[in-house]
């Protein structure tokens, strides 16, 4: 007999963060049994390019006083909650995808390999993003302890302690693990339960669904009678949506400096563990629509938001922000000093799951006015990230609060 809520929606979204090759995807597989790098290019290159998802039910084993996601190995499993894991890219060239994914999460699993010095460039950069977005509930997994000696593991552990000193992760637990050998996975799950709680949710606000993926799920040769509409993946950050709701996707279709919302109906909601009738904040889901799949294929709607018709934030072509810059460029081994933002330069911004190029139209001390290449939706008071082109790469230089 299924226990209560085992087949329901996830309660919390946890993102993985850290340097490429530190074993984020392997660690999620060790916890959930799901390999999140399903995209063909990801499998070919062995890195995460697109956002990956996996879901796990967490159980408490009373007899052994331990936690597990594998109830068959527990004599008396007690269901605690369902967790969505969001696997984000670690490669420096894919940093903006990581920033977009971080907008969806409630907590983070920062993965640091024991067989490399800490911090690595993207480890540092990912932690900065978590700080910018206000992600305070963090668990650190010191992975690959099976590849080093006890002395080397302790040395690396002390490097991690020094790295997180004075940061948002200063009080985060550090759990030595091996994803490959499945060592200490139960201890890691326990730390997640204790240090990444389910946050309070506001269901009374107008719903805002952040679109992080969009698909055409029809296989070549599918007959018309079995053809289904486009699917949208992402997470709700406030309010609630249900099957049958008429919704709009904004900015939607953009052409000649004009935008047109895309209107559709929610025909299904899939948690990855089954279908539900209503979605609330706390889990990544796939939403089936009656849209022509050509509109959703190949992630064409990523960066848009979805909500009830007439109740979504108005798209904007410009932003005024209160900018905050780092002392040093994050993610660069040279650690260049961050120069002040100058009128006339170009910056890449990430706002929720949207990413676009922006032109600095005006600067008065910390107040910066940006003209955007593409329209976005964002609410006042929310944060965006700022990246500058340095030696051919967009490097994180700071963040801003939308005025």
What is the average pLDDT across 5-19? 81
What is the average pLDDT across 204-217? 91
Torsion angle of C-alpha atoms 155, 158, 159, 161, degrees rounded to 10 = 160
Task: Please say whether the beta carbons of 271 and 345 come within 8 A.
Answer: no
Residue 158, Cβ density class (10 Å: 0-12 exposed, 13-18 middle, ≥19 buried): exposed
- Check if CATH label 2.40.30.10 holds for domain 208-308: yes
Q: What is the pLDDT of residues 35-85, one digit of tens each?
A: 544 433 323 333 222 456 788 899 999 999 999 998 888 889 999 999 988
**Of 111, 269, 136, the residue nearest 199 (C-alpha):** 136
Angle between helix 121-132 and 95-102 (nearest 10): 30
- pTM attached to this predicted model: 0.83
| CB neighbours of residue 96 within 10 Å | 17
CATH of the domain spanning 12-195, picked from 3.40.50.10740, 3.40.50.300, 3.40.50.2300, 2.30.30.230: 3.40.50.300
Show the tokens assigned to 153: 């593991």
The fold of 316-402 is Elongation Factor Tu (Ef-tu); domain 3 (2.40.30)
Whether 316-402 and 208-308 are alike in CATH topology: the answer is yes
- Kindly list the domain boundaries of the chain, sorted by start residue: 12-195, 208-308, 316-402
What is the average pLDDT across 361-365? 96
- Residue-level pLDDT at 48: 29
């Amino acid at each position: 007999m299924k226990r209560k809520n085992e087949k329901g929606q996830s309660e919390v979204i946890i993102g993985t963060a850290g340097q490429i090759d530190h074993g984020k995807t392997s660690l999620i597989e060790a916890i959930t049994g799901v390999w999140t790098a399903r995209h063909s290019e990801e499998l070919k290159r062995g890195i995460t390019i697109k956002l990956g998802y996996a879901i796990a039910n967490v159980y408490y084993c009373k007899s052994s006083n331990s936690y597990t996601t594998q109830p068959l190995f527990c004599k008396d499993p007690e269901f605690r909650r369902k967790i969505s894991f969001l696997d984000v890219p670690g490669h420096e060239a894919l940093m903006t995808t990581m920033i977009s994914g971080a907008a969806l999460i409630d907590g983070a699993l920062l993965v640091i390999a024991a067989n490399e010095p800490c911090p690595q460039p993207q480890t540092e950069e990912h932690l900065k993003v978590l700080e910018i977005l206000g992600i305070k509930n963090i668990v650190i997994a010191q992975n690959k302890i099976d590849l080093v000696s006890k002395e080397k593991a302790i040395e690396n552990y002390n490097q991690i302690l020094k790295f997180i000193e004075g940061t948002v992760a200063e009080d985060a637990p550090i759990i030595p693990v091996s994803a490959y050998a499945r060592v200490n996975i139960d201890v890691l799950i326990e730390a997640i339960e204790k240090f990444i709680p389910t946050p309070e949710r506001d269901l009374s606000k107008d719903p805002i669904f952040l679109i992080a993926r969009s698909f055409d799920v029809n296989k070549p040769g599918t007959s018309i009678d079995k053809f289904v509409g486009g699917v949208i993946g992402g997470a709700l950050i406030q309010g609630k949506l249900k099957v049958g709701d008429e919704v709009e996707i904004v900015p939607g279709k953009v052409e000649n400096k004009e935008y047109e919302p895309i209107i559709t109906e929610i025909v299904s909601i899939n948690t990855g563990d089954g279908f539900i009738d209503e979605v609330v904040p706390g889990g990544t889901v796939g939403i089936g629509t009656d849209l022509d799949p050509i509109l959703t294929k190949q992630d064409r709607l990523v960066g848009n938001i979805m909500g009830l018709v007439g109740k979504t934030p108005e798209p904007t072509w410009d932003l005024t922000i209160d900018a905050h810059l780092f002392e040093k460029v994050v993610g660069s081994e040279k650690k260049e000093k961050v120069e002040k933002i100058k009128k006339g330069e170009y910056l890449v911004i990430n706002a929720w799951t949207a990413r676009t190029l922006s032109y600095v139209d005006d600067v008065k001390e910390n107040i910066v006015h940006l003209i955007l290449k593409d329209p976005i939706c964002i609410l006042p008071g929310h944060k965006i990230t700022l990246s500058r082109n340095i030696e051919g790469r967009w490097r994180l230089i700071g963040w801003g609060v939308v005025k």
